[in-house]
Amino acid sequence: MKTSYLWLPVILLLGVTSCASPHKVMVMYDRPGSLKRGDRVIWENQTIGSVGDFQANPAGKTVVPLQVKPDFREALTDQSRFLIQADPDRPGSQMVKMVLLSSGGKPLPDGGVVEGSTSFSLMIERGSRGVRGIPQVLQDALDRLSKELDRLSDREWQKELESQLDSWARELKKSGEDTRRFFEKELLPKLEKSVQDLLRRLKELGKEKDGKILQEKLERLKRTLQD
């Protein structure tokens, strides 16, 4: 009986250790960038876990294991999205930021595999859940630029459009295949029309040369879709 009592603390300790083991989520990214083992996992400004050792999968993607603290496992659902971003508290380091598309959702099992997100793909996904059904946030950006055509000078409007092209090109480089194909099919035609409208206006003003950079940026974005 005495021997049994001696083993009791050990058994209890093992039980507590088992319950406190981290909850793993396997996130697949096309381009993990400079993310590395030990980088933080953040949710609502809290550190909820860390990045584990990378793995490769047959599809050529990088599987990034996230080790989430037990206290936060209930927050891991099929509504969770995981974005790689710069870590503001650790200059030169990256972090994985978890975002919830909505409350509720089905719990992610330990070791569950999910697709990684980018700010661009998240923007599209959020927009696709809107009342009008398409990624309205992107369409709104184009509409805003069109409305500003009358308020801004041609040069200012051109700069705004060039900046938007650069921003989308950067995001597309980090996005997955589905996001790129969606952009190419649904949004690129609208973007090309906005560019052509400005080029036509510049031509009427005898400033065709001013539109050369804009055309180059559009072509660069289109090449990004094919990479």
Residues 143 and 105 in one domain: no
**Spatial distance between the Cα atoms of 91 and 224, rounded to a whole number of angstroms:** 28
Residue 2, in any domain of the structure = no
Query: Looking at 89, 117, 145, which one is the last position of a domain?
Result: 117
Q: What is the DSSP letter of 61?
A: P
**Spatial distance between the Cα atoms of 220 and 215, rounded to a whole number of angstroms:** 9
Look at residue 17 in the predicted model and tell me its pLDDT. 42
1 or 86: which carries more pLDDT confidence?
86
Query: Looking at 117, 150, 169, which one is the last position of a domain?
Result: 117
If one counts every other C-beta atom within 10 angstroms of the C-beta of residue 160, the result is 17
- 10's tokens: 């050990």
Look at residue 10 in the predicted model and tell me its pLDDT. 47
Residues 83 and 157 in one domain: no
| Dihedral Cα 142, 31, 181, 26, nearest 10 deg | -110
The set of residues, in sequence order, having a beta carbon less than 8 Å from that of 156 and lying 6+ positions away, is none
Residues 170 and 111 in one domain: no
38-52, 58-72, 156-170, 178-192, range with the lowest pLDDT = 156-170
Residues 105 and 153 in one domain: no
Query: Looking at 117, 152, 167, which one is the last position of a domain?
Result: 117
| Residue 46: closest CA among 76, 72, 24, 64 | 72
Residue 154, in any domain of the structure = yes
Tokens 């597309």 found at = 172
Give yes or no for residue 2 having a pLDDT over 70.
no
Residues 140 and 113 in one domain: no
Residues 81 and 138 in one domain: no
CB 70 within 8 A of CB 22: yes
**Number of compact structural domains in the chain:** 2
Residues 84 and 32 in one domain: yes
How confident is the model over 18-30, as a mean pLDDT? 83
The set of residues, in sequence order, having a beta carbon less than 8 Å from that of 17 and lying 6+ positions away, is none
Look at residue 157 in the predicted model and tell me its pLDDT. 62
Domain of residue 160 covers: 132-226
How confident is the model over 23-38, as a mean pLDDT? 91
Residues 39 and 112 in one domain: yes
Residue 8, in any domain of the structure = no
Residue 173, in any domain of the structure = yes
**Spatial distance between the Cα atoms of 29 and 115, rounded to a whole number of angstroms:** 7
- 211's tokens: 């539109």
**Spatial distance between the Cα atoms of 170 and 60, rounded to a whole number of angstroms:** 21
Split at pLDDT 50, 70, 90, the class of 128 is: low
Residue 11, in any domain of the structure = no
Residue 58, in any domain of the structure = yes
Residues 106 and 181 in one domain: no
Look at residue 54 in the predicted model and tell me its pLDDT. 95
Share of the chain above pLDDT 90, in %: 30
Backbone angles phi, psi at 175, to 5 degrees: -90, 160
Residues 153 and 103 in one domain: no
Report how far apart, in Å, the C-alpha atoms of 192 and of each of 29, 52, 123, 173, 198 are. 29, 42, 20, 19, 10
Residue 150, in any domain of the structure = yes
Residue 219, in any domain of the structure = yes
Q: Which residues pair with 123 in a beta bridge?
A: none
Give yes or no for residue 92 having a pLDDT over 50.
yes
Looking at this protein, which amino acid is placed at residue 34?
S
Residues 137 and 80 in one domain: no
Computed over every residue of the chain, the mean pLDDT equals 78
